[in-house]
């Protein structure tokens, strides 16, 4: 959510950067990259994504994708299935929580011990109005009672990033300027409030000794950034209108939680296609070991879903197919927006995996991942890669950081840990072109 | 070359003579000299001999360093550290005199501050880890000639609250904590902090005091309960958590605070109804069985809340409970919430401003949504997040200092001890103009210190910061390395034990503070321990191979005996059943026999179950790697978090026991401290040694030079001591001799804190040495940690260093030489009152450093 605003305040809100420039405009000559993390909870069993009979690395061209991900069949030239990364050090049984994207030990109630990869990428990618957006999908009860929680992303040790689960709030934040009705009123009231808070905060800084002013001015600047973001979003409202989803009944009267999942995804996609952000994290099941998908006809919810073997399980086939359709929606939307000599999708990387490695009760020895898109030609696609289980998910994250332009050999892994948990160093060459 | 240098030395000596013979030097004052006339001659005189153009020591040439600029800033910083710490020039050569050294150090700091002003600034001299860079003898020894001290004060400032202070403050809005129970003084009570939860995360919990039922196990509970994590950031690793100039609040935090604020206001208004369906609030969960069908685990709808209202009912509740809005009710809500969040009543202007904001929101969104949104703005008031000490209105004295007064003074005193708002007596004193003098402060501090019902969590916070015993649960252990220590590694049990251990040590410190006699010495040498049953393992002894084999043989033997006994019991029960069955076969109509058979069958099942359970327990408890300690004794309690994890939540129950004699002594030998100073794989002897050097001996360690690749060799078959041989190379040893020989005596414990006599099947080497401590009586070899601790605990020098750390914590800054009188008074107060922490606190909190502020530090320097 808005954390990125703060984190990127210095770079992202320089006065010289006009909003159009920050919108990662599709007409720009440069190729602004974007990255999406889709984290399904309860594990990602490799059998549900690796084509039958495929054991070693090979092309997917002549293979048939398994039923759970069959929706990706038309997109398989963009797909790269990776098996054999590990996350033993993240203690992923019952979810690694922040550790899944951080590559460090996580567990229920354990605060993040460092920043996570999505946040780091949001800093490396070209500045956008909102450097990083996190959305979380859960049971309807959880999404209404706890519309924001923080379980997956972090900007540093002890600094969790909240994810959005109430689409009404999220719509107001992203598209309040072009909203109507109740959302409009809320947007206006909040705008007024934030302006007043900024004024009060600034007035309270007047009396500070000079030595304290600088530190306090960062506080005031924070409000200035928030108000600035809103104003800038307002100034590009014509542009945003083209991308904003239409608010319908599902926002206020969802029949199932999956209605909200769908519109949260719409909002996430709009934030990408409109250029408001270029880093999106989706937590399906919000990093925990529960979650519900009643709209798919999955009557069971919660923990039991994790106790089932996923392959050939009708419930998990439904959930994974639903995920796959979501991935397709993202790709189709990004393909429809021209960018450079191709489309937005050409410069995008989608990382699909689980915050729970391969299954709910796991030691993390295998952590399957699917990549979609080649990130402006950086990643190989249309193939399956079997790794030897000796490199951690951290190495995948280091690889993406490299491809995003950050020179880094390891992500959140010092030499001492690497001695135990990483057989190599630098990016995963098997993945890069 | 030699000739040239000689010439410069003469020149320099002349220059310095003028300083020495002139006016007395007031440290911190601006040194009106430039590089060429001042710093260069110093370098030439004291440094260039070794750090010259050819074959310089440490490959560092200073002959052409030049004035401070952003390129050579790192070198100048290193020079500042070496000269301040009197590491350089080396002892065997002529030393600059005290004034010259201080003046040079001040000049470098001033130049680095000036040059780096718009490049991220220079803050090293404000870093608490560098507090010891000021020579101890300058503070506690006789004042050298040529130095003039001025009456001290602290800068006017705003002090951002810590995450824990913030969460505790917010917690007061939605939860009513129990009153202090003198019968169970260790239980968490109103005024104590919100502690971290089962996983070490700091969270604010909603409605947990009313939950009477939930579905599922521990994780399900943790998921379904509404909680929000701490929002403000803190970069604490080791040492003091919070100086005023550490932190601000960024826009991400501000946004999140606003979101949480709305949730809190709604809870203040509606209680659990704001997070639950009406049917979930009942005292008879059975009555809603029809609604609780199916698997609801992890859902907020799986919870049942009692009907008893527990949260504080405030004017915000009054405002929301009835329809309509009146100015009076609105203003009451604004004023009350403002004081709950900032700890002081709003001024008329502030009250008007927030009232206007709330009204505007209501106008736009209607009463309910408008009031919630409008009131949330108060959570972002400057004074809800920063505590001001600005002395805007007082008149400066002849030294440019203004004494804090009224609300600023009252809140400073309150904050020195408490996390929640001032109690009624202090509030009255402030309102009635009785918080203006040193005597006022003394009265209030003494009153609060004497009253157990007034909880003083900030005192405990100091001891956490000082000892750093609360970090064990955050150190991610390698599973195999952990298993090698002898403790169980299954699930999260180890990490939970570490968070429990922190709470145990907290309580032990409180008990020692309650006695208030020889506090530091007691902390270092107490034979008492507060522990859970599980801590028997961690306070136990890791067995050697031979001992383990013997223990296993013994266990096997007793297992056989137990099994025989169990078999006999089972056989007897079985026999009775068989006999009755036979009887019934002969006469199946006999009712009495039928009844008897049913009973005996039941008894047989019970025996089978009992045996199975006992077997399981024996299997679970079997740990032949460890001779567990027997920590039994008086039943007491420790302050743990609200239920955060279902039945697996942290429990307050503890024993006050005596540690195994000869194996441990004081809290530096408790697992909580030992593990906090360990890493994933092993002990961290360097960190432990550094702790002793800095916190007990008052020594300083310069930053690791960037050229150093600080890695020990990875040799699993060698002891840590052996692997640390690399630090004894000349280049490293200059610094490491200050740490390693002080840390290695703790090798008598493994990295989970268990006592051990062997390491890698050989007797463990626990020898060490106190080198160059600043107190010659302390210096010398020690056989192990216990001997070292006994020595240190007797030292006045160590006491003084402890006082320096207390000064830093309560003043929120590093001491300067001008604070010497304050420090000496504080130590004297501690000493004269038999090592009383309370006396030390009264002295510090009534000192000029605590009471006075200077608005313009530059003007202060000029006035003085």
Instruction: Give domain limits for chain B.
Output: 2-122, 153-311, 313-389, 544-624
Check pLDDT > 90 for residue B15. Answer: no
- Residue A151's H or E segment, with its range, is strand A148-156
Q: What is the pLDDT of residue A26?
A: 44
Residue A241 lies in a domain: no
Phi, psi of B795 (to 5 degrees): -90, 135
CATH number (domain holding residue A132): 3.40.720
Q: Are B229 and A4 in contact (CB < 8 Å)?
A: no
Q: Which class for B568: exposed (0-12), middle (13-18), buried (19 or more C-beta within 10 A)?
A: exposed
Q: What is the pLDDT of residue B859?
A: 57
Cβ within 8 Å, pair B711-A415: yes
Q: B252 to chain A: which residues are within 8 Å by CB?
A: 2-7, 155, 161, 222
Q: Report the run of H or E that residue B519 belongs to, with start and end.
A: helix B519-525
Q: Please tell me which of the candidates A1, A9, A107 has its beta carbon nearest to residue B492.
A: A107
Please tell me if residue A168 touches chain B, with a CB cutoff of 8 Å.
Answer: no
Across the interface, do B157 and A304 touch by the CB < 8 Å criterion? no
* Cβ within 8 Å, pair A302-B296: yes
Nearest CA in chain A to B202: A111
Q: How far apart are the first and last CA of chain B?
A: 43
B282 CB within 8 Å of a chain A CB: no
Mutate to test the interface with B, among A96, A189, A286 (most CBs of B within 10 A): A189
Look up the pTM and report it.
0.88
A203 touches chain B (CB under 8 A): no
Sign of CA dihedral B157, B163, B165, B171: positive
Which residues of chain A are within 8 Å of residue B208 when distances are taken between CB atoms?
none
- How high is the pLDDT of residue B2? 34
Average pLDDT of the segment spanning B685-689: 97
Is B200 at the interface with chain A, CB within 8 A?
A: yes
What does the pLDDT read at residue B236?
A: 74
Smallest CA–CA distance, residue B363 to chain A, in Å, is: 9
- Which member of A155, A161, A302 has the closest CB to residue B295? A302
- Sequential DSSP letters for B141-204: SPPPTTB------EE-EEEEPPHHHHHHHHHHHH--PPPP-TTSTTS--BTB-----TTS--EE
Rounded to a whole number of angstroms, the distance from the CA of A428 to the nearest CA of chain B is: 24
Task: At A191, list the tokens.
Answer: 């705008």
Q: A305 is written with which tokens?
A: 């879903």
Average pLDDT over residues B742-750: 98
Residue A186 near chain B (CB below 8 Å): yes
B713/A contact by beta carbon, under 8 A: no
Residue B5 has pLDDT above 70, yes or no: no
DSSP B692: I
Answer whether B201 sits within 8 Å of A109, measured CB to CB.
Answer: yes
Q: B864 pLDDT band (50/70/90 cuts)?
A: low
Contact yes or no for A212/B156 (Cβ under 8 A): yes
* pLDDT at B858 (0 to 100): 58
Mean pLDDT score, B426-450: 98
CA distance B220 to chain A (A): 8
- Count of Cβ atoms closer than 10 Å to residue B859 Cβ: 12
B 392-411 → A contacts, CB under 8 A? 392
Give B288's Cβ-side CA count (13 Å radius): 19
A:264-293 residues touching chain B, CB 8 A cutoff: 288-290
Reported as a pLDDT band with limits 50, 70 and 90, residue B32 is confident
Task: Assess B645–A contact: CB distance below 8 Å, yes or no.
Answer: yes
Find residue B749's DSSP bridge partners: B755
Domain span including residue A328? 3-172+257-421
CA distance B241 to chain A (A): 13
Largest CA distance in chain B: 125
Residue of B251, B276, B299 with shortest CB distance to A142:
B299
- Each as own residue / partner, the long-range contacts of residues B629-632 (CB below 8 Å, 24 or more positions apart, any chain) are B629/B535, B629/B536, B629/B539, B629/B540, B629/B541, B629/B659, B629/B660, B630/B536, B630/B657, B631/B529, B631/B531, B631/B533, B631/B535, B631/B536, B631/B539, B631/B655, B631/B657, B631/B659, B632/B657
Work out the pLDDT band at B59, boundaries 50, 70, 90.
confident
Which of A378-387, B150-159, B562-571, B755-764 shows the lowest per-residue confidence on average (mean pLDDT)?
A: B562-571
**Residue B456 CB-half CA count within 13 A:** 24
Number of structural domains found in chain A: 1
Residues of chain B with Cβ-Cβ distance to A6 below 8 Å are 250-255
A 339-358 residues with CB < 8 A to B: none
CA distance A41 to chain B (A): 14
- Strand locations in A265-344, DSSP E? 279-284, 338-339, 342-343
Q: Work out the burial of residue B213: count CB atoms within 10 Å of its CB; fewer than 13 is exposed, 13-18 middle, 19 or more buried.
A: middle
Domain-embedded: residue A190 = no
- Per cent of chain B over pLDDT 70 is 96
Give the integer Cα–Cα distance in Å for A347 and A370: 17
| Whether residue B89 has a cis bond before it, omega within 30° of 0 | yes
Query: For B713, which residue in chain A has the nearest alpha carbon?
Result: A416
Q: Return the pLDDT at A28.
A: 42
> pLDDT class for B35, splitting at 50, 70, 90?
very high
Per-residue burial over A349-372, b = 16 or more CB atoms within 10 Å of its CB, e = otherwise = bbbbbbbbbbbbebebebbbbbbb
pLDDT score, position B709: 67
The answer, yes or no, to whether residue B166 has pLDDT greater than 90, is: yes
The closest CB to that of B250, out of A104, A222, A301, belongs to A222
Give the count of Cβ contacts less than 8 A between chain A and B: 215
Q: What is the pLDDT along chain A (433 residues), one digit of tens a residue?
A: 333 333 332 222 322 334 454 555 444 445 689 999 999 999 999 999 999 999 999 999 999 999 999 999 999 999 999 999 999 999 898 899 999 999 998 988 888 989 999 999 999 999 898 889 999 999 999 999 889 889 999 998 888 888 999 999 999 989 998 998 889 999 999 999 999 999 999 999 988 988 888 889 889 988 988 898 888 888 888 899 999 999 999 999 999 999 999 999 999 999 999 999 999 999 999 999 889 999 999 888 777 787 888 999 999 999 999 999 999 999 999 999 999 999 999 999 999 999 999 998 899 999 999 999 999 999 999 999 999 999 999 999 999 999 999 989 999 998 888 988 999 999 999 999 9
Of A142, A196, A212, which has the smallest distance from its Cβ to B158's Cβ? A212
Tell whether A298 lies on the interface with B, counting CB pairs under 8 A.
Answer: no
Residues of chain B neighbouring A415 (CB-CB closer than 8 A): 711
Under the phi-then-psi rule, with left for phi > 0, alpha for psi from -120 to 50, and beta for the rest, what region is B486?
A: left
| A193 in contact with B, Cβ within 8 Å | yes
Its sign, for the CA torsion B385, B387, B390, B391, is: positive
Tell me the chain A residues in contact with residue B298 when contact means C-beta distances shorter than 8 Å: 139, 142, 288-290, 301-303
User: Is the predicted pLDDT of residue B625 greater than 50, yes or no?
Assistant: yes
B709 interface with A at CB cutoff 8 Å = no
Q: Does A419 touch chain B (CB under 8 A)?
A: yes
- The Cα–Cα gap between B521 and B517 comes to 9
Question: Which structure tokens are listed for B175?
Answer: 């939860």
CA dist B124 and B580 (Å) reads: 86
DSSP B383: H
User: Which of A161, A193, A304 is facing B295, going by the closest CB pair?
Assistant: A304
């Amino acid at each position: 959510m808005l954390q990125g605003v703060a984190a990127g305040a210095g770079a992202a809100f320089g006065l010289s950067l006009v909003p159009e420039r920050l919108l990662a405009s599709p007409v720009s000559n440069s190729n602004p990259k974007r990255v999406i993390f889709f984290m399904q909870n309860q594990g990602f069993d490799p059998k549900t994504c690796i084509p039958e009979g495929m054991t070693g690395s090979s092309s997917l061209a002549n293979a048939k994708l398994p039923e759970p991900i069959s929706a990706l069949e038309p997109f398989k030239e963009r797909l790269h299935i990776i098996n054999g990364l590990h996350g033993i050090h993240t203690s992923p049984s019952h979810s690694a929580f922040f550790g899944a994207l951080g590559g460090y030990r996580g567990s229920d109630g354990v605060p993040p011990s460092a920043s996570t990869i999505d946040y780091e990428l949001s800093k490396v990618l070209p500045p956008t109005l909102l450097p990083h957006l996190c959305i979380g999908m859960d049971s309807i009860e959880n999404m209404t009672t706890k519309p924001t929680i923080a379980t997956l992303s972090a900007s540093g040790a002890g600094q969790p990033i909240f994810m959005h689960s109430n689409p009404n709030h999220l719509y107001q934040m992203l598209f309040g300027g072009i909203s109507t009705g109740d959302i409009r009123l809320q947007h206006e009231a909040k705008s007024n409030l934030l302006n007043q808070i900024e004024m009060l905060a600034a007035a309270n800084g007047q009396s500070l000794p000079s030595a304290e002013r600088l530190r306090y001015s960062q506080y005031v600047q924070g409000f200035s950034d928030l108000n600035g973001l809103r104003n800038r979003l307002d100034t590009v409202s014509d542009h945003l209108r083209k991308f904003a989803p239409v608010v319908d009944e599902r926002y206020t009267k969802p029949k199932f939680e999956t209605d909200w999942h769908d519109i949260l995804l719409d909002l996430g996609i709009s934030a990408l296609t409109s250029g408001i952000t270029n880093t999106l994290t989706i937590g399906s099941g919000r990093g925990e070991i529960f979650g519900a998908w009643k709209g798919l006809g999955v009557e069971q919810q919660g923990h039991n879903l994790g106790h089932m073997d996923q392959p050939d399980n009708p419930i998990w086939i439904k959930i994974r197919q639903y995920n796959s359709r979501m991935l397709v929606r993202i790709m189709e939307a990004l393909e429809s927006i021209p960018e450079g000599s191709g489309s937005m999708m050409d410069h995008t990387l989608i990382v699909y995996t689980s915050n729970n490695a391969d299954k709910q009760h796991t030691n993390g020895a295998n952590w399957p991942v699917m990549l979609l898109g080649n990130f402006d030609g950086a990643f190989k696609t249309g193939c399956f890669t079997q790794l030897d289980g000796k490199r951690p998910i951290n190495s995948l994250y280091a690889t993406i950081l490299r491809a995003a332009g950050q020179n880094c050999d390891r992500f959140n892994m010092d030499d001492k840990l690497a001695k135990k948990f990483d057989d190599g160093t630098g990016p995963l060459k098997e993945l890069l072109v | 070359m030699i000739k040239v240098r000689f010439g410069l030395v003469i020149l320099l000596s002349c220059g310095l003579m003028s300083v020495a013979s002139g006016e007395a030097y007031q440290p911190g004052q601006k040194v009106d000299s430039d590089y060429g006339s001042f710093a260069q001659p110093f370098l030439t005189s004291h440094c260039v001999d070794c750090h010259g153009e050819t074959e310089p020591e440490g490959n560092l040439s200073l002959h052409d360093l030049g004035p401070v600029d952003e390129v050579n800033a790192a070198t100048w910083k290193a020079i500042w550290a070496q000269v301040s710490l009197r590491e350089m020039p080396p002892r065997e050569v002529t030393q600059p005199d005290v004034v010259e050294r201080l003046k040079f150090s001040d000049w470098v700091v001033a130049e680095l501050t000036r040059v780096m002003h718009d490049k991220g600034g220079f803050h090293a001299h404000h870093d608490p880890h560098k507090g010891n860079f000021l020579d101890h003898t300058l503070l506690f020894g006789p004042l050298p000639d040529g130095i003039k001290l001025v009456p001290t004060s602290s800068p006017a400032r705003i002090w951002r609250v810590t995450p824990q202070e913030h969460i505790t403050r917010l917690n007061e809005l939605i939860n009513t904590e129990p009153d202090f129970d003198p019968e169970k003084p260790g239980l968490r009570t109103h005024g104590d902090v919100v502690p971290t939860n089962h996983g070490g995360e700091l969270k604010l919990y909603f409605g947990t005091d009313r939950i009477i039922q939930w579905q599922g196990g521990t994780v399900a509970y943790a998921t379904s309960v509404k909680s929000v994590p701490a929002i403000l950031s803190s970069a604490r690793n080791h040492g003091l958590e919070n100086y005023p100039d550490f932190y601000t609040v960024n826009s991400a935090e501000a946004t999140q605070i606003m979101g949480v604020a709305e949730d809190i206001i709604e809870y203040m208004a509606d209680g659990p109804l704001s997070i639950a369906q009406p049917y979930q609030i009942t005292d008879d969960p059975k009555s809603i069985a029809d609604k609780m069908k199916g698997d609801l685990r992890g859902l907020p709808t799986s919870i049942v809340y009692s009907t008893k209202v527990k949260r504080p009912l405030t004017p915000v509740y009054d405002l929301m409970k009835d329809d309509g809005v009146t100015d009076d009710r609105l203003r009451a809500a604004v004023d009350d919430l403002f004081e709950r969040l900032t700890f002081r009543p709003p001024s008329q202007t502030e009250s008007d401003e927030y009232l206007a904001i709330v009204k505007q929101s209501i106008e736009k969104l209607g009463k309910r949504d408008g009031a919630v949104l409008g009131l949330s703005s108060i959570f972002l008031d400057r004074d809800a997040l920063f505590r001001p000490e600005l002395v805007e209105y007082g008149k400066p004295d002849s030294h440019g200092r203004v004494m804090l007064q009224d609300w600023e003074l009252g809140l400073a005193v309150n904050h020195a001890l408490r996390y929640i708002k001032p109690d009624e007596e202090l509030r009255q004193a402030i309102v009635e103009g009785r918080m203006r003098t040193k005597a006022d402060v003394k009265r209030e501090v003494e009153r609060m210190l004497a009253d157990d019902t007034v909880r003083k969590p900030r005192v405990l916070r100091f001891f956490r910061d000082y000892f750093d015993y609360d970090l064990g649960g955050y150190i991610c252990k390698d599973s195999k390395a952990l298993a090698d220590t002898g403790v169980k590694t299954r699930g999260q049990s180890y990490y939970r034990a570490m968070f429990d251990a922190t709470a145990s040590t907290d309580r032990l410190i409180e008990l020692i503070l309650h006695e208030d006699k020889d506090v530091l010495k007691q902390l270092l040498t107490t034979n008492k321990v507060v522990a859970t049953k599980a801590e028997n393992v961690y306070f136990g002894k890791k067995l050697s191979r031979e001992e383990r084999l013997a223990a296993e043989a013994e266990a096997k033997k007793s297992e056989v005996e137990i099994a025989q006994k169990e078999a006999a019991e089972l056989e007897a029960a079985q026999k009775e059943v068989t006999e009755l069955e036979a009887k019934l076969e002969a006469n199946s109509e006999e009712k009495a026999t039928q009844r008897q058979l049913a009973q005996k069958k039941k008894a047989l099942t019970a025996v089978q179950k009992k045996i199975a359970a006992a077997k399981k327990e024996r299997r679970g408890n079997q740990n032949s790697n460890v001779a567990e300690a027997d920590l039994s004794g008086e039943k007491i309690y420790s302050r743990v978090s609200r239920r955060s994890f279902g039945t697996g939540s942290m429990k307050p129950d503890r024993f006050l026991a005596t540690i195994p004699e000869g194996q441990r002594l004081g809290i530096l030998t408790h697992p909580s401290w030992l593990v906090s100073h360990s890493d994933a794989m092993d002990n961290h002897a360097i960190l432990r040694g550094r702790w002793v050097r800095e916190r007990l001996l008052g020594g300083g360690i310069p930053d690791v030079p960037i050229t150093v690749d600080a890695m020990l060799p990875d040799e699993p078959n060698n002891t840590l001591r052996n692997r640390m041989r690399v630090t004894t190379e000349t280049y490293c040893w200059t610094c490491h001799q200050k740490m390693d020989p002080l840390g290695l005596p703790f090798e008598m414990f493994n990295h989970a804190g268990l006592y051990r006599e062997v390491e890698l099947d050989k007797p463990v080497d626990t020898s060490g040495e106190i080198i160059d401590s600043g107190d010659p009586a302390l210096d010398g070899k020690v056989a192990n940690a216990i001997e070292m601790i006994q020595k240190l605990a007797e030292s006045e020098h160590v006491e003084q260093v402890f006082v320096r750390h207390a000064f830093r914590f309560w003043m929120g800054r590093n001491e300067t030489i001008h604070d010497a009188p304050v420090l000496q008074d504080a130590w004297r107060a501690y000493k004269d009152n038999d090592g009383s922490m309370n006396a030390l606190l009264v002295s510090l909190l009534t000192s000029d450093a605590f009471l006075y502020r200077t608005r313009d530090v530059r003007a202060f320097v000029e006035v003085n």
